[in-house]
Amino acid sequence: MKLSIEQLRQFEQQGYVICKDLFTSEEMKTLRGALQEILNDDIDRPGVSREKNSKAPRLIYGADQFNEVFARLVRHPRWMEPAKQILESDVYIHQLRINPKAPYEGEGFWWHQDFSTWHFEDGMPTSNALMIAVFMDDIYDTNGPLMVIPGSHKYGEIPERVPNPDETGYTVMEVSRDVVAGLVKESGIEALTGSAGSVMFMHCNLLHASAGNVTPYPRSIIYINANSVGNIPTKKKRAAHHCNPDATALEPLEDDCLIS
Ligand SMILES: O=C(O)CCC(=O)C(=O)O
């Protein structure tokens, strides 16, 4: 699966491109089953954080390091080929995270750029890295979709931001209201919606945020955060689930690797 010239142009101009239904409903069933197994295990492990006001998991890092299905997902050719096209290099996983954003309980995220965290915490040299969002559920305007400011990646890393660390080693680099207002005035906000199995390729400097999920609808997203093998972080202070020390180029598996 390759991105068309039109899709590459959209990525360059808007900072993201959504490939509708990249994974089939059968493959999504496998992924949802694997997530459910992780959730059933009452996951008290490093890399898992909870919502402030409930026990619901907020972030699950590193599932590729302890779950066979997610280990296969991170070597799936359907996301790897487009990622290699965009980054123009071989890739490895900087981090894999699942944001379950549970019905009624999943809370929002303030405006930030992921590259800002990877640069600040991990010493990632450049923004030649991607967030690849696999929609595990149907995502509507209402159940806490990711919101982006189209084209904001073109401004590079925004200096007016404040680190907001949590106790698990995850830091959001929060961008000031004034900067957000200025960029929104110029380019507006897009809520990124789509059916389960759709995949969004997103520039890691694209400014984004999301509101909480106050609906009964599930809204899980897997973020495969892939880095170019030529862009290795220089700091080794964070855990492997936040900053993978193994930067070996990934070899893709077969296209049917999620059909068990
Ligand atoms: O999944 C979301 O709603 C937002 C997640 C996000 O911005 C992040 O984890 O960096």
pLDDT at 170: 80
- Contact between residue 244 and residue 113 where contact means Cβ atoms under 8 Å apart: no
Q: 210 C-alpha vs ligand 1 centroid, how far in Å?
A: 7
Ordered structural domains, the chain, with CATH: 5-228 (2.60.120.620)
What angle in degrees, to the nearest 10, is found between the helix axes of 5-14 and 77-87? 70
pLDDT category, 212, cuts 50, 70, 90?
A: very high
**Residue 36, C-beta contacts closer than 8 angstroms, at least 6 positions apart:** none
Question: What's the pTM?
Answer: 0.96
Mean pLDDT, the chain, as a whole number? 95
The more confident residue out of 47 and 227 is 227
The more confident residue out of 165 and 25 is 25
pLDDT category, 45, cuts 50, 70, 90?
A: confident
For residues 2-15, give the mean pLDDT.
Answer: 98
Beta bridge partners of 225: 95, 131
pLDDT at 241: 95
Q: Does the beta carbon of 221 sit less than 6 angstroms from any atom of ligand 1? A: yes
Summarize pLDDT for 173-209 with one digit per residue, the tens: 999 999 999 999 999 999 999 999 999 999 999 999 9
Q: Does the beta carbon of 114 sit less than 6 angstroms from any atom of ligand 1? A: yes
Q: 146 C-alpha vs ligand 1 centroid, how far in Å?
A: 7
Q: Which two tokens stand for residue 260?
A: 């068990």
Which one of 99, 137, 152 would you pick to mutate in the ligand 1 pocket, going by the greatest count of ligand atoms within 8 A of its CB?
99
pLDDT at 97: 97
For ligand 1, atom 1, the nearest C-alpha belongs to: 99
Summarize pLDDT for 101-112 with one digit per residue, the tens: 999 999 999 999
- Contact between residue 148 and residue 237 where contact means Cβ atoms under 8 Å apart: no
Q: 190 C-alpha vs ligand 1 centroid, how far in Å?
A: 14
Q: What percent of the chain has pLDDT over 70?
A: 99
Q: Does the beta carbon of 119 sit less than 6 angstroms from any atom of ligand 1? A: no
Whether the per-residue pLDDT at 260 is higher than 70: the answer is no
The more confident residue out of 52 and 80 is 80
Q: Does the beta carbon of 146 sit less than 6 angstroms from any atom of ligand 1? A: yes
pLDDT at 46: 85
pLDDT at 42: 66
pLDDT at 209: 98
Whether the per-residue pLDDT at 223 is higher than 70: the answer is yes
For the chain, the three-class secondary structure string (H helix, E strand, C coil) is: CCCCHHHHHHHHHHCEEEECCCCCHHHHHHHHHHHHHHHHCCCCCCCEEECCCCCCEEEEECHHHCCHHHHHHCCCHHHHHHHHHHHCCCEEEEEEEEECCCCCCCCCEEEECHHHHHHHHHCCCCCCEEEEEEECCCECCCCCCEEECCCHHHHCCCCCEEEEECCCCCEEEEECHHHHHHHHHHHCCEEECECCCCEEEEECCCCEEECCCCCCCCCCEEEEEEEECCCCCCCCCCCCCCCCCCCCCCCCCCCCCCCC
Q: Does the beta carbon of 117 sit less than 6 angstroms from any atom of ligand 1? A: no
What's the CA gap between 148 and 152, in Å, rounded? 8
Whether the per-residue pLDDT at 165 is higher than 90: the answer is no
